[in-house]
Structure 1
Amino acid sequence: MLKWLLTNKFLNNEKLFAFLKKNRSFTLSGLTSFLRLVLLAQISTEKRTVFITNSEQSALKYKHDLEKLFGIEAEIFPYQDISIYDGVSANLYRYSKQLEILEKNDSTQILIVPVKALPEKFPDKEFYEKNSIKIKLDDEIDTQKIAQNLTDLGYKRVTMVCDIGEFSVRGDIIDVFSPEKYATRIELWGDTVTDIRNFDNKTQRSVRKIKETKILPIYKFILDKDNKETFKNELISTTAGLETNENTGIIRELLQETLEKIDNEGYFEGIEYFQSYLNKKTKNLIELLSKDFVLVFDESSEIYSKFEQIDLNYEKQIEENTQKALNLPLKSKAHLETQEFQNVCAKREKIFLDNFLDTVSDYTIEFESALIPSFSSKMEEILTYIEEKIRHGYKVVISTDYKNRVEEVLCDFEIPVSDDFCERSSVFLTENLALGGSLIEDYKLAVLTDKELFNKKSKDITAKKQTYHKESAEYIESVNDIKEGEYVVHQVHGVGLYKGLSKQEIDGQLKDYLTIEYAQGDKLHMPAEQVNLLVRYRGSGSVHPKLSRMGGNDWNITKTRAKKAIEEIAKDLLRLYAKREMAQGIAFEADTVWQCEMEEAFEYTETPDQMRAIQETKADMELEKPMDRLICADVGFGKTEIAIRAIFKAVMSGKQAAVIVPTTILAMQHWQTISERFKPFPVKVELLSRFRSAKEQKETIKKLIKGEVDVVIGTHRLLQDDIVFKDLGLLVIDEEHRFGVKHKEKLKMLRKNIDILSMSATPIPRTLYMSLSGIKNMSVINTPPMNRLPVKTHVGAYNETYVKNAINHELDRDGQVFFLYNRVETIYEFAAELQKIVPNARIAVAHGQMDPKTLEGIMLEYAQHKYDILLCTTIIESGLDIPNANTMIIYDSDRFGLAQLYQLRGRVGRSERQAYCYCFYKDRKKLTPEALQRLEAIKEFSTLGGGYQIALRDIEIRGVGNILGTKQHGHMTNVGFDTYCQLLEETINEIQETGEKPQPPAIVDINITAYIPDEWVGSKEQKMIEYKRLADVKTLEELDLIHQEWKDRFSKIPEPVENLIKIIHLRLLATQAKISLIRETSDNIRIYMPYNKAEWSIIASRIDRNITKYIKYTIAPKSCQEGNSILLFNNSVLSFKEVFNILSDLFYYINKITYEFNSK
């Protein structure tokens, strides 16, 4: 940390501080990025500072370096990355952060503002004070009135509060998520507020108690009953004044539609467009900030020019919206215009950090600083430069992510390193700067970073954001997505038709039942808490499966046949597993210092799943048997980083590593990524693909044989006979399923004694993963990287205006666009049409039939942002990672498969920015039912991790296909995909003889009122989710956690729910005691067990007499499938509470006694 620089005269400029004290505007010139950073830090220690940058990324880099080098905490004022005139609602998390910064206006020392945030206007403090709802302990409130007030403030009523702007009312609990860090839970007793607490929207659990809360409006205006009428009248009046033209009819329709939305929806999607109608007292950011802030401009001419361009774009958008009847006309603008901005700035004290002296200021201070040349890892040149600077009296600072590596090299060349910054004859090491290094002649200071030392790109800095909370993808797919009329599979009764959930009274007791219809119209009513016995049927595509006969033997016969066929595949898999276990492989070395350093330089935070996969991979590599691990993850979830760490580990152990991929584009991407990561280390990385000439390939092959290449990345070219390695230790295979049969055979030959790491972006359903996990080493990554947002997906007919708006929106935020057009023969004609739509955009064309060198050049230039739009075919489908490209437009999207659409959408949304995917089909084209299903699915499953849902939905649309071979297809179709996976798991366990067969969950059928009331949880949908959670509980600890959570989320637990929890409690204890069924009859409760008379005598002799007096042992009939014996429990004079206590004790004793007996 260089905080010392701010107070020591080493960088103290007396003239600068004199100007600051006089409150004058002045210019600082001759500045590199590092010197700007130091001067900004100095200014902010003297005055409260607003630092205006030209981009969000620049703002993030300054914030990062201020904190890392000087310990100065800076705030960044976020902007909405959509135009207010797009007719799309704002990002409420960004709005929440904006309000937080404005709220603590008086305590902020340095505020960094990207220029794009400046045109936005906000209400003043008075608006929020007047329109907020304040609630404190002991207040009397009316829940109906509060619900109406929240609706008036723009909140949406939901079942479960997950995002800002939502609220729910469940009995005595009100949940609301105001624009703040945490949501708030208000608990009532009658009408009195007895408790207020913040809760985490991701876990739904309370995090802290508070005494009062202030609920802010969600919008910058209020749309209550009075405002609605005023708004409508003004819209009618403004529209009536328009000149008559060809769009008049459309405008009238649009007006009518908008008026209906106001009446029916209130705060409708995109209402922010009309902000100027709804709140005329808004102010810009600079007006709202305290007067004592000084404005500091990072290249003022650039800032003013960019502001003017933003204003111009808004003007064009407003004009186009009116001319093309895309939206209604506006009375006034909702943003700060250029002249207003200049007027506002003129009233403030300003400092210009300008190398181009275009602005007028009172004074200018000239500095002498220069960029340091890049040495591209040429150690001798670097060391000569450092020695020369030290010799001439310069202080040399090296700012790096690789301190150990740098210190090691400096020591080898006898260049001293010191922790004392003042020691000029030595090098001072500090953390890496995001902004790059600098030579500052005025102060005899040379700062080198990884950019200069190793030619490493300046890494992007990501903002910390709250992530959206969504239930687990598979969880919703398996529970809430079972709809009435869909096919399901019951473990015991087979394939049936789900008819819904209903409350029924049997023998005077109420319960929720799921109704399943079987062949011949037979119906099964199963208690809702047994929903774990049910799975959704997947497998036959559009063909309806045959219903099983309830009570018949056909389902058992079907399952037996399937299991017999499954034994074949299970034995093959186990043979492969055994062979691999016996083979002698390479035991790679434990992590080195360089390995740790390379990993620490990773610019993102590893997700828990990713970290586990890395640890599993490394552990496999350190064993003496050959590794064969599959990394399976959704698109963009971090597979490549796992491969990079494994490759580096192999190289550090003196072995070569090869990466084989299915496409040249993916090979190039991996080569660039791996080369960049390994730059600071003596690791030679080469590329073998058609992007390299025959001569270059020949040279690389020679080096491979000699061991002069450590890592080679290539396509199937790596599988040709002339490829020979000196000492290959690791092979990484990316997207193996995309290689042909011959290539797969060659890969099998390579597999013998080296370590293999395979990677797949095709998500594997969890059920299949679990069934294979015993015999295949797999790591599944389910967790998305931090700060990722779901890609917003639009499906519709192709429309040039939509295309233009989508592209312009992306280009306005300095982003890039993928435009997928999969017809090579007409792609250049289409490029010309696209250029007419967006004349200012730089368009590049890329397809697989291009000359390799030309294609490589285009892809590299696109990655360097020399083009705005890449018009391309599906060559970009796999692996291409360009974080700055966040809009994907797919032409003729109905012609693509669901998995392909998902992979294509995965090319965007790979940074913290909101990404968009537009799936267009030809206007007026009649879509096939399958195409319609695919497009509906891609729109529906837009949450992070949605690949798992896509994989399962693909099974439904197309059928199970050839997942495990054509011989298995019929059996998988007969029993359904999930049941097939369960049978596969069972079969593998049986063949492996891995101990006793797992005990299936006991069924508890006791006649007691036990259900979850709709009004208690908020809705039927939420109720189904909670039933499924109960059904999936495996331990008493898990059950207790749910019990506690329900108390927190839904208030006091009603008696029917307490009874339900007791039934699950009994189920868990009974399962441990190997009891299969507990069923209440008119005479007694029957408990079905596996114990014979002799075994029971031993158990019974050690059970308390107060329990055994109620039970009688009897042998079960031979036809009974539930057990060998039955306990008859006399409950005629007992309450349910007494029954629960006695049975709990009974099962506890049985489990304890049998465990002790078996342990001897």
Structure 2
Amino acid sequence: MRFETDNIFEARIIERLPLEVLAFAMGKKTSQGSEESLFVVAKEKDCQLIKNFLDLFAKPYFYLSPDLFEDAGSDKRIDNVRFVFELLKGSQAQIFLIPTESFKNNFITPSDFLRQSLQLAANTKIDQKSLAQKLTQLGYRRQTKVFDKSDFAIRGDVLDIFVPQLDWPLRLETSFDEIESLYTFDPKTNQKNSKSLKSITVPSLSQKQSDAKLSDYLSIASSLRKITLLEIDPESVREEIDPLDEGEYQLFQESAQKCQRIIFEDLPTSEGKSSTQRLAFSPQEITPFYLDPKKLLEVLKRESLNQKIVLTKEPEKIRQILINEEVSASFRKVEEANEIIKKDESGIFVFKVPKDFSLNFNGFVEEQLGLVFLSDFDIFSRRLKRKRTEIDETFIASLKEGDFVVHIDHGVGRFTGMTKRTIDEGRREFFVIEYAKGDKIYLPVEYADKIAKYIGEAKPKINRLHELSFAQVKKQIKEDTRKIAKELLDLHAERKLYQGFSFEKAPHEDEFIGLFPFTETACQLRAWDEVKADLASAKPMDRLVCGDVGFGKTEIALRAAYRVVANKKQVVLLAPTTILAKQHFETFQKRFESFSPKLALLSRLQNPREQKEIVQKLKDGQLDLVIGTHRLLSKDIDFMDLGLIIIDEEQRFGVKAKERLKSLRTKTDILTLTATPIPRTLQMSLSGLKDISTLTTPPEGRKPVETIIRKSSPEIVKKAMQKELDHNGQVYYLHNRVRTIEAAKKKIQDYFPEKRIGVVHGQLYPKAISETMKKFRARKIDILICSSIIENGIDFPNVNTLIVADATRFGLASLYQLRGRIGRGQKKAFAYFLYKNLNLGEQAKKRLSALLAAKKLGSGFELAMKDLEIRGAGNILGKEQSGRVKAIGLSHYLKLLNTTIKELKTGKVEKEIDVSIDLPLDAYIPTDLVDNEEERLVLYQSLAGIENLEKLSKKEAELTQDLEVPELTNLFYILRLKLLSKKAEIKNVDTKIFLEPDESKYKKIVLSFDGKTDYKKAYEVLKVFPDLEVEDEKVKINLKSLGGNWSENLEEIVRKFGG
């Protein structure tokens, strides 16, 4: 079967066509002289994949970077200018790649783009000096010679310029200030390589964004040429187009209707479409043939396949395989691919691709197209099949050269990259970390667990190696962790000794639970099961329920409160603010209205007489459930029979309140709620001491909040508010400066004179705050101008738009929490983070970008926002510990805490032994196994963090499977030897060179102990290895005497010393 492209480009819906084939088909269509332009609209990652293959099969093509013009680097900016230029030119048979992410950007208007361009033509007058100034204004760089796009040079009467739309630089020869000729030339040979041109357009590279959108350009393009529009994941266009601008999406749809439109789908659908409209493919993925040429040849000899394409960086290796099997193939340069596609030649074609071309994709066979695609990945691959690891990897996963890291022994340094070095004839890989005054350490990859990415926005101080300051910090942290561990253990022991109340299932409990208006998530059901078990136990409960905003923590609290009240005990709910206490009271009051419990609210909003009355009722047992602020922890508060304390965001209470709670913890059931993520590793450290339930699944129907980051302008504010108000919704407008908040209200009132606007901030009287929030909840206020007082716990489902003025003033954690205040209902919600200055600082850009990336619901747990996790650590361990965590890194801190808890539990102090291993072995993860450096860093850290042999063995079996990779096998050997050496209290395993009497050299392996040699164990080793030399603090053995399998014998020796 021949590879025909016509049926692809005549379809309306295409299922499961690999993007590699699409790129190949596009190349074929354009090379056959089609008059249609192909526009591909896809997510950036898909565009990049197609782009890779177009580089091979279909040049030229035009790619639009999703970066804003002014933010793009020079290469991307040139690509963008070229894209816009070719789009507006209207020429035929071109390929345009458009990432959907570009739809959210603003562009220069098409008319301004053309107006700012410079026209140069033969036989016209120019002034060289003025022209040079004009080119500089347009963003071109004056050089002595022209090599790169955007360069220009002037030598006498010759002007050379490299414009974005040409593949070669342009030469203008002048005489008496008149252009005599224009032609392109090869800058290496200086030879003319084109006919003379009549004129040329020099587009501006200094593009400034305005109000134009990409849809404006597509509208013009669709009127200039015949277009086939290929939409991959069409929904992503809708997601990316500015939600404020319905007209833009409409314009895109109108432009699309003028084109031949093809929709690409990943999966088959059941929609009834005729075969002429729908084209389905069933690509068979290739299983890598590593070291099995027969499987390769089976595919290449298949007669049903017309074109067999092999992309390789190793053509000679493939040539040898084919020669051995007497199979003929055509070996070509990749530059010839276009010609082969054009001629539709049949056969096996082996293309040598450039070294920097990524071949990291699985090949496939597509019978319907008569096509097979193979690469080095399929033929030579030794790829690791890696599962998700269970450790917290985010510290090192995002590590880049230049980042600050914390070394557990040496403190904060700068990571400068990875390097391979030969040590004792063994090739190893190292992390390079630089300290002050040029000090460096080379950390072997098997010790990757010793470093963590530094967290903190300020630039840290870097000391020289071996300075005392970090040692003192580490000593202080050890003392702190000991104190915390002791407190936790003491509290745990006291709670075990105290006989609490066992709360059994209450009458009508199922009926109460049935009032929950939503379907529980699996996380909620699990959390409730855990709380139920705690309540039923005679041991007092002390459980933390940790969940992202709006994920159902309050429902768990409601059910727990019902069970306790139904068992004739009192419940108190503590909230950090009067607003939140009032909201909780309204929620509980509504849920309990069909049942008999008596509820009350106690806060500073009540007058002294009301407060006194509530306090007395609590004491007399006339109240079952009271909700309030820290006022409930005052000395005059006494309960008749307290059964449960529910605490919302405990970390926001003061020191005195926390002390009072600590005294209650041993004998009262306590349920704590928090929206601040708690690191998984901390949960593991506190296992058995602190009970933690996590809610990570969003409620059914909940939509992620759409995050929009824009430069502030009155138009944006008006549009965003109008959009929400048109849908009968309400708006938060966050203006976090009390001094000017009334002026902000006046401005918004001028925009919407007929709307009801309220103001709330922390400096108002509590009663005024309460009244305003009550009106807002009752929808008597349309727009609430507020401070960050709304950050915690306010839940109004009708508020689906949040506008944060001057968002760069907030930390990432605050912005994330603020965004969680909206989107609590079933409607789509929008968070607008506005900034004043277009030239944002680097940190502000990072914060806003991270927030934009964190669109997924529940991403509070998975977001690379370690300031949140550090805050989460502080919530459990005490705020003062947050600084300690920053000083040495979260993973190191938790390791120290875990070790201390274990020591206090067992009474045994573990020796800290750092094992150094230098052996003549190549031990690392080869780049052909994992070519992505970030993945390799994560893998190194996860392997280095394994602390027992069984887990290490499982990991080795999981990763290597049937692969024979000596370097990886050796890496696992060294990791295994490290664990065995620790057990044997061996601190060094070295290879040393010694001299014979005749001065010939030989090697001995030297094991140095962290203390004295255990002679009893040495005697047992000597029975098996009689050549062992035993000294007071070390043992030695000749490498030759260990034989060919010396590494296995060495492992046995170390095992015996550890036994």
Instruction: Work out whether the TM-score is over 0.5.
Output: yes
**Correspondence for 2:923 among 1010, 1016, 1026:** 1010
Q: 1:702 to 1:1024 in 2, by over 3 A?
A: same
Distance 2:243 2:470 in 1: 68
The 5 A counterparts of 1:443-458 are none
Partner of residue 711, structure 1: 625
Q: Is the 8 A contact 1:630 1:758 kept in 2?
A: yes
Partner of residue 505, structure 2: 591
Partner of residue 967, structure 2: 1056
Deviations 1:602-635 (A, max 9, x none): 5566667666654554444444454444444554
SS in structure 2 of the partner of residue 785 of structure 1: coil
Partner of residue 1028, structure 1: 941
Q: 1:1009 to 1:649 in 2, by over 3 A?
A: same
Q: 1:631 to 1:546 in 2, by over 3 A?
A: farther
Partner of residue 513, structure 1: 430
**Correspondence for 1:655 among 560, 565, 569:** 569
What is the letter of the counterpart of residue 1130 of structure 1?
L
Q: 1:511 to 1:891 in 2, by over 3 A?
A: same
Structure 2, unpaired ranges of 5+? 1-6, 32-37, 54-78, 93-105, 118-162, 167-202, 259-386, 994-1002
Deviations 1:1019-1061 (A, max 9, x none): 222222222232233456655665676579xx96755334434
Q: 1:995 to 1:624 in 2, by over 3 A?
A: farther
Q: How many residues align?
A: 771
Q: 1:528 to 1:763 in 2, by over 3 A?
A: same
SS in structure 2 of the partner of residue 479 of structure 1: helix
Distance 1:1141 1:128 in 2: 63
Q: Is the 8 A contact 2:19 2:50 kept in 1?
A: no
Partner of residue 907, structure 1: 821
The 5 A counterparts of 1:839-854 are 843-848=757-762
Distance 2:623 2:861 in 1: 36
What is the letter of the counterpart of residue 901 of structure 1?
L
| 2:736 matches 1:822 | yes
Distance 1:249 1:1094 in 2: 81
Q: 1:1086 to 1:794 in 2, by over 3 A?
A: farther
Q: Is the 8 A contact 2:491 2:666 kept in 1?
A: no
Deviations 1:480-512 (A, max 9, x none): 333333443333444433221123344664432
Q: 1:741 to 1:256 in 2, by over 3 A?
A: farther
Partner of residue 1039, structure 2: 1130
What is the letter of the counterpart of residue 601 of structure 2?
L
The 5 A counterparts of 1:1008-1157 are 1008-1034=921-947, 1038-1039=951-952, 1054-1067=965-978, 1077-1082=988-993, 1083-1087=1003-1007, 1092-1096=1013-1017, 1100=1021, 1108-1109=1024-1025, 1112=1028, 1114-1115=1030-1031, 1117=1033, 1125-1126=1034-1035, 1128=1037, 1130=1039, 1138-1139=1045-1046, 1141-1142=1048-1049, 1154=1059
Q: Is the 8 A contact 2:677 2:860 kept in 1?
A: no
Distance 1:315 1:235 in 2: 32
Distance 2:539 2:244 in 1: 66
Distance 1:738 1:832 in 2: 33
| 2:770 matches 1:874 | no
TM superposition score normalised by structure 1: 0.55
Greater CA drift, 227-236 or 807-816: 227-236
| 2:524 matches 1:524 | no
Q: Is the 8 A contact 1:1001 1:1068 kept in 2?
A: no
**Correspondence for 1:563 among 475, 478, 501:** 478
Q: 1:499 to 1:587 in 2, by over 3 A?
A: same
SS in structure 2 of the partner of residue 672 of structure 1: helix
| Displacement after TM superposition at 1:659 (Å) | 0.3
Q: Is the 8 A contact 2:82 2:165 kept in 1?
A: no
Deviations 1:645-688 (A, max 9, x none): 33223223221101011212211222233344445544444333
| Displacement after TM superposition at 1:709 (Å) | 3.1
The 5 A counterparts of 1:728-743 are 728-743=642-657
Q: 1:839 to 1:502 in 2, by over 3 A?
A: farther
Q: 1:1021 to 1:746 in 2, by over 3 A?
A: closer
What is the letter of the counterpart of residue 546 of structure 1?
N
What is the letter of the counterpart of residue 939 of structure 2?
E
SS in structure 2 of the partner of residue 730 of structure 1: strand
- Percent sequence identity over aligned pairs: 33
Distance 2:975 2:494 in 1: 44
Q: Is the 8 A contact 2:918 2:989 kept in 1?
A: yes
| Displacement after TM superposition at 1:841 (Å) | 6.3
Partner of residue 990, structure 1: 903
| Displacement after TM superposition at 1:1016 (Å) | 4.0
Q: Is the 8 A contact 1:1035 1:1068 kept in 2?
A: yes
SS in structure 1 of the partner of residue 1028 of structure 2: strand
Q: 1:858 to 1:126 in 2, by over 3 A?
A: farther
Greater CA drift, 654-663 or 902-911: 902-911
SS in structure 1 of the partner of residue 401 of structure 2: coil
What is the letter of the counterpart of residue 710 of structure 1?
D
Distance 1:621 1:1081 in 2: 63
**Correspondence for 1:500 among 417, 423, 438:** 417
| Displacement after TM superposition at 1:728 (Å) | 1.4
Distance 2:769 2:257 in 1: 42
Partner of residue 232, structure 1: 88
Distance 2:783 2:864 in 1: 28
The 5 A counterparts of 1:6-25 are none
| Displacement after TM superposition at 1:531 (Å) | 0.8
Q: 1:809 to 1:1143 in 2, by over 3 A?
A: farther
What is the letter of the counterpart of residue 642 of structure 1?
I
Q: Is the 8 A contact 2:871 2:882 kept in 1?
A: no
Distance 2:598 2:218 in 1: 58
Deviations 1:41-65 (A, max 9, x none): xxxxxxxxxxxxxxxxxxxxxxxxx
Q: Is the 8 A contact 1:274 1:330 kept in 2?
A: no
Q: 1:229 to 1:1114 in 2, by over 3 A?
A: same
Q: 1:475 to 1:250 in 2, by over 3 A?
A: same
Distance 1:1008 1:973 in 2: 37
Q: 1:1075 to 1:883 in 2, by over 3 A?
A: farther
| 2:692 matches 1:779 | yes
Q: 1:929 to 1:157 in 2, by over 3 A?
A: closer
SS in structure 1 of the partner of residue 696 of structure 2: coil
Partner of residue 441, structure 1: none
Deviations 1:528-577 (A, max 9, x none): 2321121234579445142332xx88866664465356555655565555
SS in structure 1 of the partner of residue 644 of structure 2: strand
Q: Is the 8 A contact 2:399 2:934 kept in 1?
A: no
Partner of residue 15, structure 1: none
SS in structure 1 of the partner of residue 1017 of structure 2: helix
What is the letter of the counterpart of residue 818 of structure 1?
Y
Q: Is the 8 A contact 2:426 2:919 kept in 1?
A: no
Distance 2:936 2:116 in 1: 36
Q: 1:1002 to 1:167 in 2, by over 3 A?
A: farther
What is the letter of the counterpart of residue 1032 of structure 1?
G
Distance 2:850 2:245 in 1: 32
Distance 1:1055 1:157 in 2: 37
